[in-house]
Chain A
Amino acid sequence: AQSVTQLDSQVPVFEEAPVELRCNYSSSVSVYLFWYVQYPNQGLQLLLKYLSGSTLVKGINGFEAEFNKSQTSFHLRKPSVHISDTAEYFCAVRRDSSASKIIFGSGTRLSIRP
């Protein structure tokens, strides 16, 4: 079975500062890793995904994440945040490349202070 742990439920940061949202996963098999963003009162939008290849993955809105197999981590980073990045961020895993179920973490609320 797979599981996802997001270590911080809330992360406050000042505008234009860098941010890192932490994610660790557990799985006995190879998995695919995702970060989703959920803006207030909206559904989920895919930020980026790691399927294979380069461990540094670049996504939309200037976000990137690094897959670390030895530490079973997939932390999300952005060098300079904007007010518009205020949202809930979910790390997620999927067992394979098919449309199998996605297992989500509990989320990290990113709040940006001006």
Chain B
Amino acid sequence: DAGVTQSPTHLIKTRGQQVTLRCSPKSGHDTVSWYQQALGQGPQFIFQYYEEEERQRGNFPDRFSGHQFPNYSSELNVNALLLGDSALYLCASSPRGSAPREQYFGPGTRLTVT
């Protein structure tokens, strides 16, 4: 059973550009959460998708947007990139069913903005 997968592994972008990161959840999981982990810090919650809708959002600007597809996979889009957006972006998926619904993390996408 494949775990949470993310693509690409690494990405280099220039300030002002736009980027799309992708996440495929574990089989049987229907909820996807995104986190940003800046260098030397703990992950920070960006938003969570369930049933193709954004259900929760952290303290991130509107430049950060997302989408969930009918197959439960998800995308994170960041517009007008800033140098401060350089970070490891982690995706986590949670299984269907009753609580507790543990979050399983993918390996992350390392984004570098120059």
Residues of A within 8 A of B (CB): 4, 32, 36, 42-46, 49, 51, 90, 92, 96-107
Question: Quick one: CB contact mask for B72-108 with A, threshold 8 Å, 1 for yes?
Answer: 0000000000000000001010100001111111111
A107 engages B41 (CB within 8 Å): yes
B-side interface size class: 20 to 34
| CB contact under 8 A between A105 and B101, given known A42-B107, A99-B94 | no
Q: Name the A residues within 8 Å of B101 (CB-CB).
A: 97-99
Most B C-beta atoms less than 10 A away, residue of A32, A46, A101: A101
Measured CA separation A92–B105 after assembly (Å): 14
- Which of B56, B90, B105, B108 is within 8 Å of A100, CB to CB? B56
- Which of A36, A44, A51, A103 is within 8 Å of B100, CB to CB? A51
Most B C-beta atoms less than 10 A away, residue of A32, A49, A100: A100
Question: Quick one: CB contact mask for B41-59 with A, threshold 8 Å, 1 for yes?
Answer: 1111100101000001010
A99 engages B103 (CB within 8 Å): yes
A106 engages B42 (CB within 8 Å): yes
**Given A46-B102, A100-B48, 8 other A-B contacts at CB below 8 A?**
A90-B42, A90-B43, A96-B99, A97-B99, A101-B45, A102-B33, A102-B103, A107-B40
